Structure 1
């Protein structure tokens, strides 16, 4: 599969849409409520499909509760966007999908592949979800999602986003190489990286470790905290003194590239960062091949404290005394610090395929199931914890405690329960509602101490409709990735950064920045 694919509605896709529409016209349900006695088949794309099982407890519970048939299909973690767009372009339009970026949302809406979702339909069939949206986005939560006056999205908001990302440092490695003080400055980070590479931090007698691992799938991925030390945030639109700036072309980016180039030459950072994808990074962290990584804060603490905890849990399986120190990143010469964070409106949300307009009863059923599985306590408990008395119990303080053997993730997977079961609405994470289910009372201090360490900025214009951005960003990002990787790996001198900025501006960048300034003034200036 090609990495980038032009998205055009072929004759095959148009034909598929027409056939789908004409078929549903006769047989489909045109009301905005599900037919009372009809058993709908609901199909979901699940990025944690590898942790689901056939005939799982969670799926059977939802099927019985809502009189539906549920099918979960695998969703790629690394090539999801490309695979989904390929399906749509070939006429295989899913019922529903989530988490596309806004440029892809624009394309699909413009090309007629997405169903309209009237606001009234959301209010009627997903009232708890609607209240949650209004709580966090205000009285008009569909503001950024309408196109020509019509809504095509179910917004997904990540309330953790603005300070979610941190740098995790192996605390046991710091101890092993004799560093008593947690690194704060760039110089202290460099010293730790050097010792992680050269001083056998895992005590296996081999020089087989690196300081910091990462990836370069997107511009934002490339060791963002190092750029944050110079006050810039590549891949994002941020505001400085009333002016919109783009982090990758700011002077501070050149300084960051100089640091990374030096570190790469000295083998302090993972030389395979160019090839890594998410799973590669996870494997290297969990197998103790690198002592620093940029990730969500909750990956570094116990799963019982909040959600996943993969770096803590899985690493401790092989290194029982492994521990992490969390930081917002290195402080630069002027004390600046932080990494690219996540806009609370992190994606275009969820969409329905165009054919769903002809089966509104089924669309309404999807909404009802989404609302209940995300906001109804009894249903949420059954999906995540299973059967009380068998897979879990309630502790004296109200904690939800898995019973052996279901206190082990592999047994939860076999039984078919857990956060991995997504019924669309599992993307609607109301963390106030979920707190009793996600965090043991005794671990609340740990959660509170970890969840607001992150600093930095996010792309403030991410949800804004921006035609020039959508037209140019793919090309501009490819230019950026090429120059940044070449400079870091020594194939180009750092001085070529100036050539890069000039090329970036000429290849649509200046046009994009003019649009960004205009959109900022229209949407954010009062």
Structure 2
């Protein structure tokens, strides 16, 4: 079925690309005067976004001034809906921009040879090769089509600092963050709800992935494939997973986990946090925590600064292992583009000192001010600005930053993410097993949800394991044991 779908995809792509050939020729004629049109598709960065329009207009000027590159950016508007699905439809139509931001769905494009291998570009780069982190290098070795130079993407839990300090159990939690101490802390938070405290201790955006960043390693799940004697077994069918789900069910049953966690989206999750409905949410360390901190103080006053919570401690401790198989999101260059070298020059420029200054701190006069003594970031920067492209750990400016790039809680979240870094042993599922793997993952989600919400007893976990093995689990496990190094 998958091969038939890929064949139909290829056929439609060839036909639609042929239909687009006249348009491409006209675009190339338009570019013959020296200005190259670079088409960009990027989530939330379409022409209807005034900040995006200003950003790319300013980038055109900077590239012309600093690099003598004469380019015009054309931003592609994406319709409302799931970005990866809408992007897939756009590319399937044969409309393939030069620079593409992916947030899923990229592997299908790689199979059709529509994305450029970035390895030779990086090797010849002036700046990008110097700012790649260890996790970036490992991911690029395995999958050289997506580039996403950001700090570790581990997610860290945060809570209002005033609420943290008002609980009697917080001191013990911060010194010894065991699963039991987290449970005690959550119970105290919700018990005081009548005093203006939250209804729920924690909520998530639609699944248990964010809970796992906090608790999974404490239950002994330190990698996707766990060593069981001499063999590897998939962590989600292990006894450790069963214990973890039983704990999540306990949180749900006692009203500590938001009963609406399955239907929450990222925006409603954050609103519940700012409005005080929930005490703890989990967000990507660094800039996302910075935005949480800024908005929380904006809504509830300076005393509502956020604090970062440590990962739960048990058999292991950490914010989940880091997947190094590939970037889960990132930027790709179309293999069909006539402007591949130019596109990469733009990406390399954004890694340069001048490019970093442009991308990292926003618009002068709006997000920061330059004075004789240095650069001062303002409240608007902390509340809304984020780098569209690269965020290496080191960032220097010609004049000193009078205010830090990240707030204290955001910096703390980044330090903790680095402190608890560990690598996963996840691997890319081979094409012949992908459809079975997807079905197995859906089976897990169904059972996990029913067990957490009490629709099925925890004893049915063993039934799930049996069904998982029959659905293809035995084949994938055999493959894992042959290929995990």
Do they superpose with TM above 0.5? yes
**Whole-angstrom distance in 2 between the partners of 1:435 and 1:76:** 37
How well do the aligned residues superpose, as a CA RMSD in angstroms?
3.9
The structural deviation recorded for 1:366 is 1.3
Q: Relative to structure 1, is the Cα distance of residues 77 and 346 closer, same or farther in structure 2, using a 3 angstrom cutoff?
A: farther
The Cα shift of 1:251 comes to 0.7
**What's the offset of the Cα at 1:512?**
1.5
Hey, what does 2:112 align to over in structure 1?
111
Alignment of 1:228 onto 2:214: no
Flag structure 2 segments of 5+ consecutive residues without an equivalent: none
The CA deviation string for residues 7-63 of structure 1, in whole angstroms up to 9 with x for no partner, is 65064322012344687589859xxxx978233233231346699416854322212
Q: Which of 274, 279, 285 pairs up with 1:297?
A: 285
Alignment check: 8 A CA contact 2:215 2:311 kept = yes
Residues 1:198 and 1:261: Cα distance change in structure 2 (over 3 Å): same
Matches within 5 A, 1:445-484: 449-454=412-417, 455=420, 457-462=422-427, 464=428, 466-468=430-432, 470-484=434-448
| 2:101 paired residue number | 98
- Measure, in 1, the Cα distance between the counterparts of 2:100 and 2:230: 36
Cα shift at 1:494 = 0.2
Give the counterpart of 1:84 among 60, 83, 87. Answer: 87
Structure 1, unaligned runs of 5 or more = 1-5, 147-152, 299-305, 522-526
2: CA distance, partners of 1:259 / 1:81 = 33
Distance 1:309 1:445, change over 3 A: closer
Query: Quick check: 2:133–2:149 contact (8 Å CA) kept in 1?
Result: no
Assess, with a 3 A threshold, how the Cα gap between structure 1 residues 307 and 294 changes in structure 2: closer, same or farther. Answer: closer
C-alpha contact 2:20 2:95 (8 A) present in aligned 1: no
- Distance verdict in 2 for CA 1:285–1:479, change over 3 Å: same
Q: Does 1:401 align with 2:368?
A: no
Aligned residue among 331, 354, 369 for 1:350: 331
Corresponding residue for 1:3? none
In structure 1, C-alpha distance between the alignment counterparts of 2:192 and 2:249, rounded to whole Å: 21
* Aligned with residue 367 of structure 1, among 330, 333, 344: 344
Structure 1 contact 238–457 (Cα < 8 Å) conserved: no
1:378 match: 354
TM-score, L = length of structure 2: 0.81
**Aligned runs of 1:63-82 on 2, under 5 Å?**
63-64=60-61, 65=64, 66-73=69-76, 79-82=82-85
Structure-2 residue corresponding to 1:143: 141
Residue 272 of structure 1: how far off its partner (Å): 0.7
Q: How do 1:123-142 residues align onto structure 2 when only pairs under 5 Å count?
A: 123-124=123-124, 126-133=125-132, 142=140
Show the counterpart of 1:215. Answer: 205
Is the Cα–Cα contact under 8 Å of residues 367 and 380 in structure 2 kept in the other structure? no
1:216–1:481: 8 Å Cα contact kept in structure 2? no
Q: State the distance in 1 between where 2:79 and 2:187 align.
A: 35
Say if 2:185 is the partner of 1:192: yes
Q: Tell me, in whole angstroms, the C-alpha distance in 1 between the residues paired with 2:97 and 2:473.
A: 34
CA distance in 2, matches of 1:57, 1:474: 41
- Contact 2:41–2:101, Cα closer than 8 Å, also in 1: no
Q: Say whether the 8 Å CA contact 1:228–1:340 is kept in structure 2.
A: yes
1:212/1:292 contact within 8 Å kept: yes
String of CA shifts for 1:374-413, please: whole Å, max 9, x gaps: x222233234445657863456775x313xxx64249x97
User: Structure 2 CA distance, aligned partners of 1:252 and 1:503?
Assistant: 18
- State the 1:490 CA deviation: 0.4
Aligned to 1:53: 50
SS of the counterpart of 1:340? coil
Displacement after TM superposition at 1:468 (Å): 4.8
What residue number does 1:338 align with? 318
Q: How big is the shift at 1:482?
A: 0.5
* Pair 493,50 (structure 1): closer, same or farther in 2 beyond 3 Å: farther
Deviation readout 1:111-139 (Å, 9 max, x if unpaired): 34x14447445545x4322344497766x
SS at match of 1:473: helix
Q: 1:446/1:268 Cα in 2 relative to 1: closer, same or farther (>3 Å)? A: closer
Tell me the secondary structure at the aligned position of residue 294 of structure 1: strand
The match for 2:368 is: 392
Give how far 1:452 is off.
Answer: 3.0
Does the aligned pair in 2 maintain the 1:215–1:278 contact within 8 Å? yes
* Higher percent of residues as helix: 2
TM-superposed CA distance for 1:368, in Å, is 1.2
Establish whether residue 264 from structure 1 lines up as the match of residue 246 from structure 2.
Answer: no
- Contact 1:468/1:512, CA 8 A, preserved across alignment: no
C-alpha change, 1:36 and 1:233, in structure 2 (3 Å) is farther
Q: Which has the higher contact order (CA 8 A, sep 6+)?
A: 1
Partner Cα distance (2:215, 2:243) in 1: 9
- Work out whether residues 341 and 457 of structure 1, in 8 Å CA contact, stay in contact via their aligned partners in 2: yes
Aligned partners of 1:257, 1:141: CA distance in 2, in Å? 30
